[in-house]
Amino acid sequence: MMVKSVKMAISATLAIVTAQWFGLLNPASAGIIAILSLTDTKKSTVKIGLGRLLALGIATLIAGVFFHLIGYRALAFGAYLICFVPIALSFNLADAIPISSVLVTHYLLAQSVDRSMIINSYSLMLIGVGWALLFNLYMPSTDNRLQTLQLEIDTAISGLLASFAERLQGDDSQKQSASLLAELNAQLITAQKVALHHADNHLLQDTRYYIEYFTMRHKQVEAIESMCYLINEIEVADIAATPIVAILEKTSRELDAHNPVSELLSDLEVTFDFYEQSPLPKTRSEFESRAKLYQFMTEFHHLLEAKAIFMQLQTDIKSV
């Protein structure tokens, strides 16, 4: 917050000084434009700046028509607003309405929409937006924050998989799993917001990695939510738990950001084969538990597959 306040103060001051140096009319407007153009990210500043330049062109055209037809009176300004506001909204330029309208009042006060006044308005806009963009080139790095969130989320997923293994060995980990899952969802929401903010602060660099990474983890959490439900439907006494416990424990140790999970997927296929070749269930309870276990393993496969697809995507990006 302090950094943004300092940016606003300095950029507005420099915008006014620059406008005065060029001898522009109403130089204070450049300072106001600079303040209103400072956003939280570089990309949004550029987007807003370009939008305001477009909006000013539309506003100048509409205002020029009404001032010519009605004269430089308040009625003409009102007619301009009635026409301009819906057009600006239709182009998603709502933020540009106040600034463009302030610059239109300069035409009204000067009783002119000639070339010099139009150049004056565009110069004020360019100076204000330019200083805002220049000051927004500095943004505090979020790399460390993203790496910390990445590690926390990976650790939470590992903890959940370990708790599933404990449950299949007879420990009641339902409450622990629910608590870990709630924490993981909260971390993912935060991480996705930070990743988007990080991407919007890089104009030229490819910053898709963290967005795609946390999207992948979100897909895995969806699978984990299903696994969390299914595991509590399985009667441990009705199944041979050792193979699935082994791969859950292995995955909980190895599922980090760089693991391509190809070996884990192979291990899971072997585990599927083991249960398919096992003797058929003899009781209704055993049958239901086997069915739930199969669903559980299918969701587990989706979890690993999401990571495998992500890793392949990263390989494809690097090869381009």
Pick from 33-37, 62-66, 98-102, 176-180: least confident: 176-180
- Within 13 Å of residue 3, how many CA atoms lie on the same side as its CB? 10
* Inter-residue contact 155 to 59 (CB < 8 Å): no
Judge if 240 and 123 occupy the same domain.
Answer: no
pLDDT digits (tens, 9 = 90+) for 123-137: 999 999 999 988 888
Tell me the pLDDT of the chain averaged across its residues: 88
Judge if 179 and 196 occupy the same domain.
Answer: yes
Query: Model pTM?
Result: 0.77
163: domain CATH number?
Answer: 1.20.120.940
In a 3-state reduction of DSSP, which class is residue 92? coil
In a 3-state reduction of DSSP, which class is residue 70? helix
pLDDT in the model for residue 125? 95
CA–CA separation, 169 and 38 (whole Å): 56
Last residue of a domain, one of 73, 107, 137: 137
Last residue of a domain, one of 88, 121, 137: 137
CA–CA separation, 148 and 151 (whole Å): 5
Tell me: pLDDT of 100 over 90.
yes
Contacts of 154 (CB under 8 A, 6+ apart): 255, 256, 257
* Inter-residue contact 56 to 121 (CB < 8 Å): yes
CA–CA separation, 194 and 216 (whole Å): 15
Work out the pLDDT band at 3, boundaries 50, 70, 90: confident
Residue keyed to tokens 């708790």: 163
pLDDT digits (tens, 9 = 90+) for 182-191: 889 999 999 9
CA–CA separation, 172 and 97 (whole Å): 60
pLDDT in the model for residue 314? 83
Tell me: pLDDT of 238 over 60.
no
**Helix, strand, coil abundance in the chain, percent, nearest 5:** 80, 0, 20
Judge if 27 and 53 occupy the same domain.
Answer: yes
* H or E segment to which residue 168 belongs: helix 143-168
Judge if 191 and 106 occupy the same domain.
Answer: no
CA–CA separation, 105 and 117 (whole Å): 11
Task: Spell out where the chain has E strands.
Answer: none
Contacts of 117 (CB under 8 A, 6+ apart): 25, 106, 107, 110
pLDDT digits (tens, 9 = 90+) for 267-289: 999 988 888 887 776 777 777 77
Last residue of a domain, one of 91, 112, 137: 137
Contacts of 79 (CB under 8 A, 6+ apart): 66, 70
Domain that holds residue 299: 142-319
Contacts of 159 (CB under 8 A, 6+ apart): 180, 252
H-helix segments, 201-277: 208-231, 242-254, 262-276
Work out the pLDDT band at 176, boundaries 50, 70, 90: low
Query: What radius of gyration, in Å, describes the C-alpha atoms of the chain?
Result: 30
Judge if 248 and 113 occupy the same domain.
Answer: no
User: What's the total number of domains in the chain?
Assistant: 2
Judge if 164 and 297 occupy the same domain.
Answer: yes
Tell me: pLDDT of 173 over 60.
no
Judge if 130 and 167 occupy the same domain.
Answer: no
